[in-house]
Structure 1
């Protein structure tokens, strides 16, 4: 559909150029007609897609409601450990970050440590699709593929520290020890 609109717009452009070259207003009016037709096609497509979305979302909601009636006694926890590990934190409408089972909580970082961490190039480890960064000895990382990043970059990308291994406290303490040993 968009290709058809693109062709109409290009034809309208060509007709405007033709009307300017030949100084004939008929070509300009034909160009306006092509532009209006392209606009109408876009409007019809938009209305068609808009009316299709609520219909599909109501059928999904009906299916979910049917499923929840069957599982009233069960919680919506993942059934296997592998499914738990694949889930990450969810962001509800209130904007508050909640953790899902299997994901470590966020370390509460001291403001002084945060200043140190935000400038460190020391490597931390992240796992794709999970919001936490870790130090290399973290038990949560045992079987996961990790991606090394500088701590500063991990923070800039929105990763938060793991409460199990406490990377902020660990890295800040290491940084302070290095500074003391230099003096």
Structure 2
């Protein structure tokens, strides 16, 4: 339908140019007539679309009026929740499984302001192989365990979370705000 209107508009434009170059009003009136016909086709198409759209909700309403069928049977098997796994970036090589060890310290709750500061720090924290938390070097929970030093921002990127006992996020963010140590990359 739009192609027909386009052709009519182009024809009207051609007749208008002809009318202006020849100074003959007949061509101008033919251009006006073709333009009116193109407008009439557009109005007809618009009204047809409105009628079709008005009829669609009635058809949908007929389908939606049906009552859903429910099965009232007891299910013996438990329904398993879907497991959603996130894939770490290719650079991440450390695997940090959540352990259910009873002596594992909890996770420190970190507020958004501290998290913004921590995400750019290069201060070292300590991590244990196959343990989910990162710690300050002075953390009592580390004791004599063999640990690995990582920048805190990298530890976060690798999926480690802060220890609730030594509160590394709050401590490092406070040091950074006070201007003592814990520099961000690019700071001198």
Instruction: Please give the TM-score of this superposition, normalised by the length of structure 1.
Output: 0.44
Structure label with greater radius of gyration: 2
The higher-RCO structure (CA 8 Å, 6+ apart) is 2
